[in-house]
Amino acid sequence: MDVIHSAIWVSDVEATLEFYLGALGLEKTNEFVGGDGATNVYVRGESETEIQFKYKEDHDLGEPQTARFDHLAIEVEDTDAEVERLHEETDTELVRGPLDSTGASARVAFITDPDGHVIELVEPRDDL
């Protein structure tokens, strides 16, 4: 068994792609309109695991995104540099950090995407 993707509903697919492809540097791997009429766009980093973004104009996103979905983790080379760059280049909000997480052996920070989904930037560190 292996995890292949997670699907996340978004309110603006273009803003979402601008953030994940442009600002975070992920790659678009597929796009199609499903039988439910929703646009489905897949992105990934260096691994094969993908994020599927779903968009449909009349889809109700409902409760705040943090009610059931906590965060998505993305590995970065330098958490502090990424936070600074994303703050300058996008409308991302810094939720927490950067900070050292000894339990995760990583330097981490939590930011938001255009829909307010929380993204954890993770810099693995052997010295923690």
Q: How far is CA 73 from each of CA 35, 56, 76, 110, rounded to the nearest angstrom? A: 29, 25, 10, 9
Per-residue model confidence (pLDDT) at position 59: 85
Q: How far is CA 4 from each of CA 7, 63, 121, 126, rounded to the nearest angstrom? A: 10, 26, 20, 27
Q: In percent, how much of the chain has pLDDT > 90? A: 81
The answer to whether 76 and 121 are in contact (CB under 8 A) is: yes
**CB contact set of 23 (below 8 Å; sequence gap of 6+):** 86, 89, 90, 92
pTM of the model: 0.87
Residues in the chain: 128
For all residues of the chain together, what is the average pLDDT? Answer: 92
Output the CA angle 52-4-92, nearest 5 degrees: 40
Identify the residue with better confidence: 116 or 66.
Answer: 116
Q: Distance between terminal CA atoms of the chain?
A: 31
User: Is the predicted pLDDT of residue 61 greater than 80, yes or no?
Assistant: no
Question: Quick one: average pLDDT of 61-84?
Answer: 84
Question: Quick one: average pLDDT of 97-109?
Answer: 95
Cα 78 to the center of its chain, rounded Å: 16
Q: pLDDT per residue over 13-27, tens digit each?
A: 999 999 999 999 999
